Amino acid sequence: MTFTPMTPMDTQTAGDKPLPDTPAITLHNTVYRDGSAVPLILVHAFPVDHHMWDTCAPLIADIADGMGLDRFAIWAPDMPGAGEGPIPGVAASGRQAPDGAYLDALDLMTDAYAELVNTAGYDRAVWGGLSMGGYVVLDMQRRHPDMVAGLALCDTKASADDAAARANRLRIADQCTRDHTVNPVMHFAQPNEGDSSIKRSDAFISQMTDWINAQTPEGVAWRQRMAAGRPDLNDQLESITAPTAVISGECDLSSPPSQMRPLAEAMTHTHAAFTQIPDCGHFSAVEHPHAVAQALADLMARVQDTERTEDDQQ
């Protein structure tokens, strides 16, 4: 499952600084294609990088073109510490809790995503995130709601970690840095009982293993400390007014449809289209890229319809 981006362009740009004297976070961006309409920004899962969108992104473009949509850019910036994304230092990560969790890092990273889009001349974007990427998407709604033209939440959650989950993240972060290894997160490449047939396939296991091995232990640790310190974002669901898509793998053990559907139902001020994908685990965009691409192309169509209606009313 590999794909060479159609028009690759790597950029690094500074993010806003919500805290005084906090150095800006920089992002490494991959552009799958350019366009003048409201762009689609894809935010990857943990513990991989933007390559998880390599098959899905061109499918989104093909489906959207077939639907006659205005051409929109498709980007997939790497989170800090993912792939070629620079790892922020302690000062750039904001406050650190006594247990090692980064309390401001999600906000700082979200601001960097917003600045990346603003610097390119866009006022708004459609934000689509899978798993940890969903944390960025919901935080975008919290910190920059005026920049949200649409949202897609794939196999994710709005709640913060409970005490046990937070402690486990920080244990993994410490082990990765202490032993200089990514082995503590290699279980993401292995199927669990009840997982999808795709996740049990040799091809999936091999691809995920390669993607995880391409990460740095320090980058994995940074993302774990960021996620451990994130706030609960359930209060953002009711505030969403932009067109939204919620996508859930039927076999996802960590964010199953029984948890994802209530997220959609909590968005009482918009229509959240819910897509449940059969025989699909946690990495829906990798396991069933065409189904995810169709849902995201449909979302882009709704966003463009909304944009036209708003233009007509002005």
Q: Distance between CA 308 and CA 314 in Å, rounded?
A: 10
Q: How many CB atoms lie under 10 A from the CB of residue 3?
A: 15
Q: Is residue 279 classed exposed, middle or buried when 0-12, 13-18 and 19+ CB atoms within 10 A define those classes?
A: middle
How many CB atoms are closer than 10 A to CB 210?
14
Q: Find all residues with CB under 8 Å of 201, minimum gap 6, and list them.
A: none
Which is nearest to 172 in space by CA: 162, 157, 186, 160?
186
Reference 40, options 295, 288, 210; nearest CA is: 295
The identity of residue 152, as a single letter, is A
Q: In 3D, which of 77, 48, 104, 51 has the Cα closest to residue 229?
A: 104
Beta strands 72-75 and 31-33 are antiparallel
pLDDT at 12: 34
Nearest to 31 by CA among 56, 53, 6, 13: 6
DSSP string, 157-184: -SSPP-HHHHHHHHHHHHHHHHHT-SGG
Strand-strand pairing, 272-277 and 125-130? unpaired
HEC string of 189-235 equals HCCCCCCCCCCCCHHHHHHHHHHHHCCCHHHHHHHHHHHHCCCCCHH
Q: How many residues does the chain have?
A: 314
pLDDT value of residue 229: 98
For residue 21, the model assigns a pLDDT of: 55
Which residues are CB-neighbours of 171 under 8 A, at least 6 positions away?
none
**Residue 150 exposure: Cα atoms within 13 Å on the Cβ side:** 29
Please report the pLDDT score of residue 311 as a whole number.
Answer: 79
pLDDT of residue 17: 39
Please state the φ and ψ torsions of residue 261, each to the nearest 5 degrees: -60, -40
| pLDDT at residue 22 in the model | 62
CA 97 distance to own-chain centroid? 24
3-state class (DSSP) for residue 40? strand
Residue spans of the chain under pLDDT 50: 1-18, 20
Domains delineated in the chain: 31-313 (3.40.50.1820)
**Alpha-helical segments (H) within the chain:** 56-66, 105-119, 132-143, 163-179, 202-213, 217-228, 257-266, 284-287, 289-313
Q: Looking at residue 188, what DSSP letter applies? A: G
| CA atoms of 312 and 291, how far apart (whole Å) | 32
